[in-house]
Structure 1
């Protein structure tokens, strides 16, 4: 079968000689139609970060195949499978293997879900990142009238903003922070009330102008009136300036501020942690989603309550996998979708 093989940072190739996977007793085989490039895939491609079974499927020949956000059609079932059938349209989520003609998917509610007829394969391949956003919004627990900041508005951060709107979270301000003007423009289209580009404005000062500040006598400080920060950017070694987590600690108002950390970290970095104590900040990690989030994401797409098609900025075929990764790493890209014929 055809598959994209990862060798080392910056080294991907499309091969045609891999053996197709066989289903285990509790698995199905999906013929892939579309697979999205995730931020974690980019971390791997750039720096070898997180290399292992969480991002890569190892073929019988020993080749490593990335890709974990995909959709397609069931073409084979394991011996124990009775409730899933050949020909069903599905979303699959695995630890790699999606950039290939065929992928093996365990049958459980975290990794396999049916696709409604009204949702295209390309849209369906964005289900997992939208489900991630739904979970982050739950964890942030934004209350009516509060201000929330979303760092990083690629497909994940834009999904967070879409989720905030779809879940009727009546925030006062939804502020998107990113270095890409095209992504910030899309953030406004899907519901952000204000945007900040750190290459143009210092984020803490600018967000303080947008939201107002909360002067405090002890310890003396005057932070912006921000109740929650959702960090979809993490730590990118090539980016200038303090990481979003450090900025979030300085952004939050005293008492009751929340940070939800989702974006991956390419390396360690020093951090001033005293604001956590001074402001009594709560920090939550968010990894993935619940099965209900996968279903909800597809329901929102099928009903037309939110539009994921507009977030697919580029479409390339598997034969152009290296170009697809390079494009995904550019500031202009939102979501690069790789199609498999």
Structure 2
């Protein structure tokens, strides 16, 4: 089968300690401290063969390019990747995918050949203390599709059935496989937003105002979820006009360029001084936005930190104390019904993430697609083995 394989040089920075078992597997807890000089190539790999008893084999229909995929290719001044997350190369990248089941393991009960499915990127063990306490995204023995084990930028992908979710209801809504698979590939980024906004931080009361900082794919998903949850005003603070337009299509009532606006003053004026019930950080630019986030919060406001940025940012804790505000760190999308609830919202028409898809590339053009994603003008760019 054809697949895009990422390679990079294993070169821990001076002073970084690596466990011997991680070095043996080339498994980096924080890739930005370990891997440099990344490269990608389209390769011919062995077909997946028969699934293990607990696995399914999927023929990939679509796979989205995430900011994390871009960070695997982007490097700093010392040529280290800027991804502050797990990575083990060589690896087939891509974790936002959907596909059709073409083979089913002997112990699999919930799926049959021909089903359309998507899968969780985070492969939790279910046995460690974190998992047993309900923190699947913080699993002590975590593996990540497209990061540490082969993912979806390929013609086929092998996945344990327990991480898969059916898209058959999405197919019923849209009526054709192509659209259902494209929308289904959006399940992962929408579930990341859902985890931060609702599972981790507990959501907001319908009628409250929501501010989303960053209009990339997860920011757009946050806008759509805020609308579905009954926000009265939805601010999307995004410098690029193209992305502000997409946000407004998905439900933003105010698309605003934060580089040309005093965010706190604007929110205060538009909410008559009440501020927002929830701010969702999706820009991955903490130093630039945290002061604006604090200034926009209302009494009892919540901050869901969904974007990732290894740089420190200053928090003015007195603001949080006086407003009884809360900040929630969040990563991932596993457990607590994130995926099934997102899929139900898609199947019911409460959210329509097809509006967020702006371009499609064949698998052979992945590097070009990543370069296009780096411009941060598009919504979601999909890579498809068959165009």
Name the TM tier (shorter chain): 0.7 to 0.9
Inter-partner Cα distance in structure 2 for 1:174 and 1:202: 17
- Superposed displacement of residue 10, structure 1: 8.0
* Structure 2, unaligned runs of 5 or more: 9-35, 76-80, 122-144, 175-179
Q: Report the CA distance shift for 1:133/1:269 in structure 2 as closer, same or farther (over 3 A).
A: closer
Query: Following superposition, which runs of at least 4 residues in structure 1 exceed 6 angstroms of deviation?
Result: none
Q: Which of 338, 361, 369 is matched with 1:293 structurally?
A: 338
- Superposed displacement of residue 115, structure 1: 1.2
The structure that is helix-richer by fraction is 2
- Asked if structure 2 preserves the Cα contact closer than 8 Å seen for 1:176 and 1:194, the reply is yes
- Superposed displacement of residue 197, structure 1: 0.8
SS at match of 2:245: helix
Counterparts of 1:174-213 in structure 2 under 5 Å?
174-213=234-273
Q: Which of 110, 117, 121 is matched with 1:83 structurally?
A: 110
Q: Which of 74, 79, 82 is matched with 1:46 structurally?
A: 74
Inter-partner Cα distance in structure 2 for 1:37 and 1:187: 18
Look up the match of 1:269.
312
Please say if 1:28 is aligned against 2:56: yes
- Superposed displacement of residue 140, structure 1: 5.2
- Asked if structure 2 preserves the Cα contact closer than 8 Å seen for 1:229 and 1:259, the reply is yes
Look up the match of 2:25.
none
Inter-partner Cα distance in structure 2 for 1:10 and 1:92: 30
Counterparts of 1:107-186 in structure 2 under 5 Å?
107-108=161-162, 111-116=163-168, 117-118=171-172, 119=174, 120-138=180-198, 139=201, 141-167=203-229, 169=230, 171-186=231-246
- Superposed displacement of residue 263, structure 1: 0.9
Question: TM-score w.r.t. structure 1 length?
Answer: 0.83
Please say if 1:310 is aligned against 2:364: no
SS at match of 1:333: coil
SS at match of 1:16: strand
- Superposed displacement of residue 291, structure 1: 5.8
Look up the match of 1:228.
278
- Superposed displacement of residue 287, structure 1: 2.6
SS at match of 2:372: helix
Q: Which of 255, 264, 281 is matched with 2:325 structurally?
A: 281
* Structure 1, unaligned runs of 5 or more: 215-224, 237-241
- Superposed displacement of residue 134, structure 1: 3.0
- Asked if structure 2 preserves the Cα contact closer than 8 Å seen for 1:179 and 1:331, the reply is no
- Superposed displacement of residue 52, structure 1: 3.0
- Asked if structure 2 preserves the Cα contact closer than 8 Å seen for 1:44 and 1:51, the reply is no
- Asked if structure 1 preserves the Cα contact closer than 8 Å seen for 2:210 and 2:226, the reply is no
Aligned residues: 313
- Superposed displacement of residue 38, structure 1: 1.4
- Asked if structure 1 preserves the Cα contact closer than 8 Å seen for 2:263 and 2:295, the reply is no
Question: TM-score w.r.t. structure 2 length?
Answer: 0.74
Partner deviation per Cα, 1:271-328 (whole Å, 9 max, x = no partner): 1333333433211123333463322322333333332222110000111001111111
Partner deviation per Cα, 1:78-111 (whole Å, 9 max, x = no partner): 3432432222211123321111111111121xx2
Q: Which of 93, 96, 114 is matched with 1:66 structurally?
A: 93
SS at match of 1:264: coil
SS at match of 2:273: coil
Q: Which of 105, 115, 118 is matched with 2:159 structurally?
A: 105
Inter-partner Cα distance in structure 1 for 2:346 and 2:281: 24
